[in-house]
Chains A and B, each alone.
Chain A
């Protein structure tokens, strides 16, 4: 599938209708999401034929993208049932199989090294301090090949150090820096759109 086509599909997905502030619910836009998964597949071969888990899948954008790019098996975990309903409809519309479970990612453990690749856009940790690192910790335990994740550029040094030293990642690499438009979903955002610098990371567990 071509990048433009992928972006087109992702642009048509339903997204959060009542985003919950405390869970940092905002979607990864089609531009970033398509590039993230397209790079994972075309530069690294981490998606096609693989078992992929989407942590904090929300309405399913990243998992759907993985399925569209030929993942053999896709799972999505989110703590919020309303988002999962939407993810489920999104998958059905495109006739994709997703395995969706409602759970706090810290309440599940994963056995058997079944998951090859974890893709995620974790909460940045602006509401619950350390949420981003909780996700990364878990993802590095679960994935056997690679983790793709988005983190605020301001946290780059911290992310790198924590991944390599505390979570024993074999490598931690910023693939590119992106501008992430967090729309004005929340009252405490004064400007219409908050544009923040975000890094796309690839970690090898």
Chain B
């Protein structure tokens, strides 16, 4: 599972008031090369919760993203886009789970 998935999901379990972001339980993570598609990234950028992405990437050992949400002028920088691409689409949670921040319920992820 890649971090785009983590960024868009929240827990909707009955009684949960704020189910986002889900915690990550990282048992094994890998990095898999994915084709670089700048248009897709620019389109995704406005939909992403930046802090959740930065924290998730860090918990998988990648700390190259700027802490502060960058403004959209950064989308012209290839260097920035490459980092965004790597964090969003190339980091894979291979084994582990997403965890509801309030109830602790686990949503296991599968390889691939």
Q: Which residues of A contact B (CB under 8 A)?
A: 49, 51, 72-73, 75, 81, 84-85, 87-89, 91-92, 96-103, 106-115
Contacts and interface: CB of A to CB of B under 8 A. Distances in A.
Contacts of B105: 107
A100 B44 contact: no
A87 to B, nearest CB: 7
B19 A109 contact: yes
A113 B12 contact: no
B69 to A, nearest CB: 14
Contact of B13 (A84, A100, A107, A115): A107
Contact of A88 (B19, B98, B111): B111
B10 A108 contact: yes
B1 A99 contact: yes
B109 interface: yes
Contacts of A114: 4, 7-8, 44, 47
Interface in B12-65: 12-13, 19-20, 32, 34, 37, 40, 44, 47-49
8 contacts: A81-B108, A84-B110, A97-B34, A100-B109, A101-B108, A108-B10, A111-B8, A111-B49
B10 A111 contact: yes
A109 B44 contact: no
Given A49-B40, A87-B110, A115 B8 contact: yes
B86 interface: no
A91 B11 contact: no
A113 B47 contact: yes
A51 B107 CA distance: 21
A102 B111 contact: no
Interface residues of B, number: 30
Interface string B99-112: 00000010111111
B85 interface: no
Nearest to A76: B110
A90 to B, nearest CB: 8
A51 to B, nearest CB: 8
B9 A108 contact: yes
B5 interface: yes
B12 A109 contact: yes
A39 to B, nearest CB: 24
A91 B32 CA distance: 14
Contacts of A98: 112
Interface in B67-112: 89, 98, 105, 107-112
B40 A72 contact: yes
Contacts of A115: 8
B110 A102 contact: yes
A55 B35 CA distance: 25
A100 B110 contact: yes
Given A87-B112, A107-B107, A112-B47, 13 more contacts: A73-B4, A91-B112, A97-B112, A98-B112, A99-B5, A99-B109, A101-B1, A102-B108, A107-B13, A108-B10, A110-B9, A111-B20, A112-B48
